[in-house]
Every structure is written in structure tokens, then in C-alpha cells.
A and B are shown apart, each in its own frame.
Chain A
Amino acid sequence: MITLQSKLCRILIWVWFTLYAIGILYPLLWLIMNGFKTNREFFLNTWSLPKQWMWENYTGAWDVGIGQYFFNSIFVTTVSVLIILLLGSMAAYGLSRFRFAGADLLLLIILSGLMLAPQASLISLYQILQSIGLYNTYWALIIPYVAFQLPFAIFLMRAYFLSIPRELEESALMDGCSTWRVYWHIVLPMGKPILASAALLTGMSIWNEFMFAMVFVEDTDLRTIPVGLMNLRSQLNTNFGMQMAGLAIAALPMVVAFVLLQKKFVRGLSAGSVKG
């Protein structure tokens, strides 16, 4: 009796997990598949595979804007992440090694940055960016992204640096090595794993960011993918195939990056446990 019950239970769980997995994967496949259809075919049958694979939808979506948005996203994300890694690791080194009056206060101030919702600064940031002349430039995105992601990056890296043994650094310092050289030649190379995790997690948040990207930039030419897709929707409001092709192009890079680099993602999550 007990075995029958537990068998039934196991089957139910399998059914549940399989349905859940289909519920995740099928909408994504539906998106990719319908991205290959003409409007007519899409209206006739949402389920079927396309009769004719319309690669034109994908190249067309790329040409009407996704290409440019893609470049903008890559540029903004790469520059932001590089600055975050540099300034974040410097601060994390400073805060994990040096002991001085006020160190705890500095750490507290930086980490409280984790607690502030971007909505609460949206309008004043918009004002500030306008008054310093950065509104509607790449920097209008890069600077706020860096500032908002730094607390998280510092939090991750500091915890990791604290766990690195210090013997090597101490002997280097006693030999007269400067702190800058210790940071650059010893701490950074040893911190590579956490730098990779921090880069992935902050990069993912920045790549996906929507609200700042919509408000701080006005020109279509400067739009990042999430906002650019909104433009595309109004521009192509009847061409569903091309719209879906655009969405598929936008979703794919992050999914591929996650599947390939899962371990680094998970390490970052396990060190941070913070939702983006």
C-alpha cells in the first residue's frame, strides 16, 4: 500500500515537473518558431512549424533597429561592467584589508546603497543628468548603472577577499611592495572567480535594465534592447513575425550565457543571494 502510494506520488511529481518545464520552454520555442512565420501563417495556425522558414523576419528585425540596440546594449553593459569591476575591486580591497577608524562606517554607507530602490531616485537623477549635460548620452546610462551596481559588487568581492589568505600579500608588503602593486598583482588575480561572478550578475542586471534606459535617453539611436523593443512594437504593430523575431534575438544571448556559465552564476548567487 505504502509503495503504491509513493509510486503514485512520484508519478504526480514527474507530471507536475514535466508540465512546468513545458510551460517554461514552450512559450520560448513558440516565440522562436513564430518568428519564422508570415503574418498570415501565424494567424492561421499558432501551433505548427512554419511551412517556409522566413529568415527575412530575423534579418529584417535586425536591420530595422535590433542591430543598433544590440550594439548599444553591448557597449553600455561592457563599459559599465569594466568600471564596476575596477572601482568595485579597489573598494573591496580597501575595505577588506585596511583597518582604520571609520572603516566600518564607510562599509555601512556603501552597503546601504543595496537598500535603495531606483524608482525613488528616477526623477532627481533625470534632473541631475540634464543639469550636468549628460542626459541623452551613453554616460546617462553608464554612470547610474555603475553607481547602483557598485554596492552589490563590493559586497560580493569584499566577502571573497576576506577569505583569501594574506601571507603572500604580507610578505610582498614587507619586501617594500606598494599597496597598488599588491592589489594589482596579488589580490586581483586571486579574486578572479568572484570577479567573473560579479561581472555576470551585474552585467545581467544592466543588460536587462528598462526604466533608466527609457527615461535617461531620448534618441532612438542610443536605445538599449529592452526599450528599443518597445519602439519596434509600435513601428511594426502589424508585423507579428518580425516582432517575435526581435524578441527572440533579445532573449537569446542571456539564456545562452546562463546555460554556458551556470557555475559562475550560481557562485555569485550563493555569495550574494540578492535579487537583481
Chain B
Amino acid sequence: MLKTYQNGRSALPFILPALLLILMFVFLPMILNIYYSLFRWSAFSVEKVFVGWEYYARLFQDPVFYTALKNNSLYALISILFQVGGGLVIAAILEDRLFRKWQPLFRTIFFIPSVISIAVVGLLWQLLYNPDIGLVNGVIKAIGQTEWAHAWLGDSKTAIYAVIAVSQWQFTGYMTMLFLIAMHKIPSELYEASMIDGANRIQTFFAITIPQIKDMILVGTIITVIGAFKVFDEVYVMTFGGPGRSTEVLGTMVYRAAFRNDEMGYATTIATVIFVITFTLSVLQMKLSKSGREV
């Protein structure tokens, strides 16, 4: 090891600019947010009135908070099923020698929606769901199931599922890509050995593919769950929490409290809950991906 590289003082100028920016614009606001949640304050007045845990007490009695928690959890569950489960199966099929020839084509097509802005995808799907002009009802009528036609986003019973479906459309290909990347690293001898042993494709999938990429599956699951609790753009664009408050998620609750109702203290309280949930999940992910690297 060279002497120059053991000198911390010569390393600092390289690290400091990035570190300061991260501390000031990521960490400091995060800490301030928790502090602000103990006050009643408005965006337009300088004064902040200390109220302690009052907003937390209020939050846990707010029925909308439970709607939001339920919607975020639905998001997480359905996304695990489609993005992680579906993505895994699709990736496994694309890695099979019968389909490998077609893999570049399909994985490119499937991945395309995840490079488009969530806001743009939300606006597009709002048009697609439009009861009169949209493609969704158009397809339903074209296959002759006219009675299924529906104002998907306008009905408080179906709206949250319609919104969640858009995320599956957008991100299943993303998970497929991550699983494909992980599957490429599996040594092919393992598959050859299992074929000699007479295992069929499904047996091989459970005996080799899944155990070999289990770290990626775990990490993918956690990334998906974290994403489900950070949801904001698509809900804001497609329904803004409505009709009623039926599609409210934690993210839109923060925005509504802060920038519609000017209750900054309450908004920061909800934001703190998002912070606690996503941070806990992220620590878990860090632990798991580290254990993955050592294997």
C-alpha cells in the first residue's frame, strides 16, 4: 500500500464535496422533517407552535391514514405477485434454451415502459381508462363483453386496482430484467447436471434457478415493497386520491396536507411514517444484499 493512499487528509478533498451535499440536502431535511412534525405551522407564517405528539395521536385516529396504509399494502402485495412472481417466471422462460433466441426481443419490449416517466404513464393510462374514448373499454367491447365496460378510475371500488394495475404494466419488465441478469451468472454445468439426472424444467426451476438467485429474489421483493410505500406520481396524476379518498396513499396524504390544506406539521408527521417504514425495509435490504455478496 502506497503512503499517499494512507493519508486521510489527501482523500478528504475528493470526498468532501459529495458528502457535504448529501448531508445538507438529504440528511438534514430528513432530520428537520421529524423535528417539524412536533409543531403546528403554516407555509406562510414564520411562527411554529410546539404541539409535541399531538399530530401523531391525530394521525392514528385518522381513518384516511388507514385507507392509505391499506392501499400502500395492496400495492406491495399485488406488486410482489406480478412483478416479483411474474417477473421470475418470465425470466426463467426467457432463459430456457427454447426461448433464449427470442430473449433480446422480448426483454427489450417488456422493459420499455419502465424507462418512461411515471407521470407520463399515469396520464396515458388515464386516457386509456377513459370510459368513452379509452382503449380499455374499447378492448372489452371488441371482445363482446360490453357489460364489463366501466369507468375504472371513477368508481371507488375499482379505482385503486386500476391504479395498481398500471404499476404492474410499467415495472414487471424491470424485475424480469433484474432476474435475467442474476440468472446469467448461474453456471450452466448446474443445468447440465440436473438434465443428466433426468429433472424436468419445472424441477430444475425449483431445484437450481430459485436457490441460485434467492438473494436477488429477496432484494427484488424488498425493493418492490419499498417502492409500494413511496408511491406518489401515478396516484397524483390519475386520481389524486379520489374518488372520495378511496385511492389515497401515504405519499398523496403528505402532499394534500402540505400544499392543499397548509397543515405542514401534519404533513411532516405522515412523511415521518413513510421514513420509518422505508428506512426499516432498506436496512433489511442492505443486510440481505451484503450477505448475498459474501456467498
Contacts and interface: CB of A to CB of B under 8 A. Distances in A.
B14 A183 contact: yes
A117 B118 CA distance: 16
A275 B15 contact: no
Contacts of A119: 230, 232, 250-251, 254, 271, 274-275
B18 A87 contact: yes
Interface in B83-140: 90, 93, 98-99, 102, 106, 108-113, 115-120, 123-125, 127-128, 132-135, 138
B6 A98 contact: yes
Nearest to B216: A273
A173 B4 contact: yes
Contact of B119 (A111, A125, A229, A274): A229
Interface string A220-242: 00000111011001000000100
A150 B119 contact: no
B275 A24 contact: no
Contacts of A207: 117
Contacts of B246: none
Interface in B1-44: 1-2, 4-8, 10-15, 17-19, 21-30, 32-33, 36, 43
Chain A interface size, as a band, is 35 or more
A10 interface: yes
Give the secondary structure class of B's interface: helix
B275 A99 contact: no
Interface stretch (A13-21, A50-58, A190-198): A13-21
Interface string A44-88: 001100000000000000000000000000000000000000011
B286 interface: yes
Residue from A110, A123, A154, A210 having most chain B Cβ neighbours under 10 A: A123
A1 interface: no
Interface in B61-81: none
A174 B1 CA distance: 12
A229 B115 contact: no
A127 B17 CA distance: 22
A100 B7 contact: yes
B268 interface: yes
A133 to B, nearest CB: 15
A204 B132 CA distance: 33
B135 A251 contact: no
B227 interface: yes
A95 B251 contact: no
A213 to B, nearest CB: 9
Interface string A89-112: 011011101111111001001110
A156 interface: no
B279 interface: yes
Contact of A120 (B7, B22, B274): B274
A229 B133 contact: no
Interface string B166-181: 0001010110011001
Contacts of A257: 115
A168 interface: no
B156 interface: no
Interface residues of B, number: 97
Interface in A21-43: 21, 23-28, 30-31, 42-43
Contacts of A250: 117, 120
Nearest to A262: B108
B278 A120 contact: yes
B10 A98 contact: yes
B208 to A, nearest CB: 19
Contact of B118 (A43, A174, A210, A269): A210
Given A46-B135, A211-B232, 20 more contacts: A17-B90, A24-B113, A47-B138, A87-B21, A91-B15, A94-B11, A111-B286, A113-B27, A117-B229, A119-B230, A121-B30, A123-B254, A124-B30, A147-B25, A210-B117, A215-B255, A240-B127, A266-B177, A273-B178, A275-B174
Interface of B: 1-2, 4-8, 10-15, 17-19, 21-30, 32-33, 36, 43, 90, 93, 98-99, 102, 106, 108-113, 115-120, 123-125, 127-128, 132-135, 138, 169, 171, 173-174, 177-178, 181, 216, 219, 223-224, 226-227, 229-230, 232-233, 236-237, 250-251, 254-255, 258-259, 264, 267-268, 271-272, 274-275, 278-279, 282-283, 285-286, 289
Interface of A: 10, 13, 17, 20-21, 23-28, 30-31, 42-43, 46-47, 87-88, 90-91, 93-95, 97-103, 106, 109-111, 113-128, 143-144, 146-148, 150-151, 154, 170, 173-174, 179, 183, 204, 207-211, 215, 225-227, 229-230, 233, 240, 243-244, 247, 250-251, 254-255, 257-259, 262, 266, 269-270, 273-275
List the 7 closest pairs (A to B, CB-CB), nearest first: A100-B8, A94-B14, A115-B282, A98-B11, A121-B29, A147-B25, A120-B275
